[in-house]
Chain A
Amino acid sequence: MASTFKPTDEAQVLDAVAWAISAEAPLEVLGRASKRGLGRPFQADHTLDLSGLSGINFYEPEELVLSAKPATPRAEIEAVLAERGQMLAFEPMDTGPLFGLPADQGSIGGTFACNLSGPRRIKMGAARDHLLGFNAVSGRGEAFKSGGRVVKNVTGYDLSKLMTGSFGTLAAVTELTFKVLPAPEKTYTVLLLGLDDGAATRAMAAAMNSVHEVAGAAHLPAGISGRSSVPYVANAGGAITALRLEGFGPSVEQRCRELKDELAGFGAIEELHSRNSVKFWAEVRDAVYLAEPADRLIWRLSVPPSAGQGVVAALAMGRDVEVFYDWSGGLIWLSLPPSDDAEHIAVRAVVAPSGGHATLVRAPANIRAAVPVFQPQPAPLAALSARVKDSFDPRRVLNPGRMVAGI
């Protein structure tokens, strides 16, 4: 009979995992269950529901550090930070809109487990760059910890990196401590109008290579920009290339002026101020432009920034694609019409020469079960990853198959 364990402390998590090991009964590990549609579907008779482990342990703004239990709502944490003028600098994506679910349902544990980072990734790093330490119960049924609460720390292996992005397949995290940063006083966005993908890539590179500390570089081709709820963007009537400048007031204003001067050769330029900027970058972060139609399949491709436009051009040949770019062209959000195989062979063949990777983000469960959701790895690397899994979870009781079939 299927059971759901809902522990309220680490000792109970230990008990549940120990039972799963002895009963050889895999567990599906859940925080607030907002991202079940992400990753591979897999069979687990039982559920380890961590939603009872919620709440902030401590928040010390002057130390730039916050510690919380895994199921603490991400939105709650972001609200607490905002009160003190701080933020999660990696700008975590809210997966709700893309999956047709309500917004702001995710947990902080899930945020790190999926290593989803937003537009600021290019300047401030990914979720993995912000996790300082954690406590967890491994698939061996042992409670262990790694890292600490300080940024400068090389004591032992950096297991925080390994845990981030492991989709709950290594250990059930019971406590996380992470770095937070001051939120910008002001945010402006420079908008270049009407560029094709090639010119946009060059403009984004020019901006990134300038001294102006660009903290977001996205390109919405014609046909996508119209879906924005920001009037300046929606009414542009063509492609929009957006460059975010943020920080202290006088600095942002000056950098905005200078960047506009430097990019004048690319054509018409507008600017968004703080309120519209915040709205716009949240749309980019959450990929809302591709949310509808809901039956289309969504891929997220990470490639070298200069390779992005070529990848898109190749994918667009003879295909009905919708795309937009983030990360200065290095992150491609790709939407394809429904198909049985999500065209994974073609997508990955196009990405391969760039050295990047492709993740199937949204597709019906049967497709995600049949098609590798994460980029398949060369055999030696895949074998090494499987050995790493076994070092934490040799009986494969934690989310087995969530990332790769069988492990």
Chain B
Amino acid sequence: MLMPKPDSSIIARRAEIIERLRQIVPGEGVIAEQDEMRVYESDGLSAYRQMPMIVVLPEKTEQVAEILAYCHGEGIKVVPRGAGTSLSGGALPLADAVLLGLGKFNRVLDVDFKNRAVVTQPGVTNLGITHAVQHDGFYYAPDPSSQIACSIGGNIAENSGGVHCLKYGLTTNNVLGIEFVTIEGEVMRIGGKHLDSEGYDLLGLMTGSEGLLGVVTEVTVRILKKPSTARALLVGFASSEEAGACVAQVIGAGIIPGGMEMMDNPAINAAEDFVGTGYPRDAAALLIVELDGPEVEVNHLIGRVREVAEANGATSLRVSENEAERDAFWAGRKSAFPAVGRITPDYMCMDGTIPRKMLPEILRRISALSEKHEMRVANVFHAGDGNLHPLILFDANQPGQLETAETFGGDILKACVELGGVLTGEHGVGIEKRDLMGEMFTEVDLNQQQRVKCAFDPKGLLNPGKVFPQLHRCAELGRMHIHKGQMPFPDIPRF
């Protein structure tokens, strides 16, 4: 993975930059010792490591603004970082960049039940928001599996999802407002406890922008009342075709479950070995369908989903009768990653999305690719919205295996795009999928996206090297080729 060439003239000024940053963030907020910076050298995509030039941990928006204005003025790159759980290398440091950590922005500022909103600093964890409101029966709906660790600021940057996003939406559908600072050091506030924006939807644009457009310093999210009941079905199938058909027909019947997850046989067995909560080891595919809402509705829908599952040849079917049982159904799915981690030295988690109806087809292709690359794979899916997490099993200590795993992963994502899907459903492009962007977008598409970046960051200083395979100068992107005097459209009807 090629990163932008470090600017040695910036690195040469390191001491002076440290001094200036210490003036802005006094005390222990500037980290310059190699040993202490070590924890920041990678994020959740740990195959890639790079020591940052300097780490700065501001506590106030004004400090962020001052840091960014200074870096902008001096032409110093900045990499924002939340909790560092990104699986796409979004928070990977650069040798000539300041790593700006939001970890000290860790306070919930306002819990407002009247407006069903929480205002929080970006470093608060996803689960921390739910913790702040659950005493009154509320929760924050988007639930990435990393929710005990990942920050809400990182969630916004990645537009993170989770099991419950099928029914309750992704981060972008649950954020009401943000405060962010541009690379020029300007503080912008958009949205709030009211709905919809008063101009261009910059809130929607910022969400999922992977730290390339601004640094988020405050967040307002909506909270929901926890459903009174939740029950799950655990259904085994003899083929992924039947499981896939079941998923499609549940949705086709007008039912949007709280969650609808699928695991293939290797994933089922890895999970069963790890937690042993009674998954059917011989099933080719396992579905967990959770219904939540009022009790009558849940019971009614359990019946309907059961009918659909049976009509599609379910080989085993259990319905949770209490919370302990429901938790047990989920235990295997929730520990799928560590469970797979036990049976392989290393694994790589992919994140493509396909139209739901392509589930059986993508599984066939993944299994063919697995044979071709001679590498095992276990599949867990957010089946309800066609988001796949194939886990590629490999051993990084064997020469060539990391490269093979990356090629294998790339092939899976290309297949997703071919089948009408996309490269990444929730983990982000980062550096991981950067060089695959051309599979989905033309140069014109990508240039238009980079022009938007130019509107926020004309010098390209914020998190460069991520998302876009090729970096262009804004001046170059801004150029237009105008064909003067041409009247080329003989065929357009004119009136």
- Interface residue ranges, A against B (CB under 8 Å): 3-8, 12, 15-16, 18-19, 21-22, 52, 60-65, 85-86, 115, 117, 121-122, 125-126, 128-129, 138, 140-146, 148-162, 164-166, 170, 181-183, 185, 205, 208-213, 247-248, 250-251, 254-255, 258, 302-306, 327, 330-331, 354-357, 359, 374-375, 377, 380-382, 384-385, 387-392, 394-395, 403-404
Contacts A146-B445, A158-B159, A181-B256 given: A12-B491 contact, CB under 8 Å?
Answer: yes
Contacts A6-B494, A152-B353 given: A302-B488 contact, CB under 8 Å?
Answer: no
Encode B186-202 as 1/0 by CB contact (under 8 A) with A.
11111011111111111
**Shortest Cβ distance from residue A249 to the other chain B in the assembled complex, whole angstroms:** 8
By a CB distance below 8 angstroms, the chain A residues around B159 are 154, 158
- Interface residue ranges, B against A (CB under 8 Å): 112-117, 137, 158-159, 161, 165, 169-170, 172-173, 182, 186-190, 192-205, 207-209, 225-228, 248-249, 251-252, 254-256, 293-294, 296-297, 300-301, 353-357, 382, 385-387, 420-429, 433, 437, 440-442, 444-446, 448-449, 451-456, 467, 478, 480, 482-489, 491-495
Q: Which interface residue of A7, A157, A374, A389 has the most chain B CB atoms within 10 A?
A: A157
Interface SS, B side: loop
Q: Contact at A155–B455, with CB atoms within 8 Å?
A: no
Q: Contact at B429–A162, with CB atoms within 8 Å?
A: no
By a CB distance below 8 angstroms, the chain A residues around B356 are 62-63
Q: Contact at A142–B444, with CB atoms within 8 Å?
A: yes
Q: Contact at A150–B445, with CB atoms within 8 Å?
A: no
Q: Contact at A63–B357, with CB atoms within 8 Å?
A: yes
> Given the complex of chains A and B, what is the CA–CA distance between A21 and B421 in angstroms?
34
Q: Contact at A211–B196, with CB atoms within 8 Å?
A: no
Q: Contact at B425–A153, with CB atoms within 8 Å?
A: yes
Q: Contact at A182–B455, with CB atoms within 8 Å?
A: no
Q: Contact at B480–A117, with CB atoms within 8 Å?
A: no
> Given the complex of chains A and B, what is the CA–CA distance between A255 and B300 in angstroms?
14
Q: Contact at A251–B296, with CB atoms within 8 Å?
A: yes
Q: Contact at B199–A164, with CB atoms within 8 Å?
A: no
Closest B residue to A3 by CB, please name it: B494
Q: Which interface residue of B113, B173, B207 has the most chain A CB atoms within 10 A?
A: B173
Q: Contact at B207–A158, with CB atoms within 8 Å?
A: yes
Q: Out of B169, B357, B441, which one reaches A156, CB within 8 Å?
A: B441
Q: Out of A12, A374, A388, A390, which one reaches B198, CB within 8 Å?
A: A374
Q: Contact at B487–A156, with CB atoms within 8 Å?
A: no
Contacts A64-B251, A251-B300, A302-B195 given: A4-B494 contact, CB under 8 Å?
Answer: yes
By a CB distance below 8 angstroms, the chain A residues around B456 are 384, 387
Closest A residue to B192 by CB, please name it: A355
By a CB distance below 8 angstroms, the chain B residues around A62 are 248-249, 251-252, 356-357
Q: Contact at A159–B190, with CB atoms within 8 Å?
A: no
Q: Contact at A156–B467, with CB atoms within 8 Å?
A: yes
By a CB distance below 8 angstroms, the chain B residues around A151 are 170, 353, 385-386
> Given the complex of chains A and B, what is the CA–CA distance between A190 and B202 in angstroms?
36
Q: Contact at B114–A126, with CB atoms within 8 Å?
A: no
**Shortest Cβ distance from residue A288 to the other chain B in the assembled complex, whole angstroms:** 21
**Shortest Cβ distance from residue A157 to the other chain B in the assembled complex, whole angstroms:** 5
Contacts A210-B225, A391-B454 given: A304-B192 contact, CB under 8 Å?
Answer: yes
Q: Contact at A126–B196, with CB atoms within 8 Å?
A: yes
Q: Contact at B225–A209, with CB atoms within 8 Å?
A: yes
Q: Out of B169, B421, B482, which one reaches A150, CB within 8 Å?
A: B421
Q: Contact at A248–B297, with CB atoms within 8 Å?
A: yes
> Given the complex of chains A and B, what is the CA–CA distance between A359 and B198 in angstroms?
8
Closest B residue to A302 by CB, please name it: B194
Q: Contact at A154–B169, with CB atoms within 8 Å?
A: no
Q: Contact at A21–B455, with CB atoms within 8 Å?
A: no
Contacts A62-B357, A85-B254, A115-B201 given: A152-B386 contact, CB under 8 Å?
Answer: yes
> Given the complex of chains A and B, what is the CA–CA distance between A388 and B213 in angstroms?
12
Q: Contact at A354–B449, with CB atoms within 8 Å?
A: no
Q: Which 9 A-B pairs have the closest CB atoms?
A: A161-B204, A251-B297, A182-B254, A15-B489, A152-B425, A304-B193, A375-B198, A357-B198, A387-B455
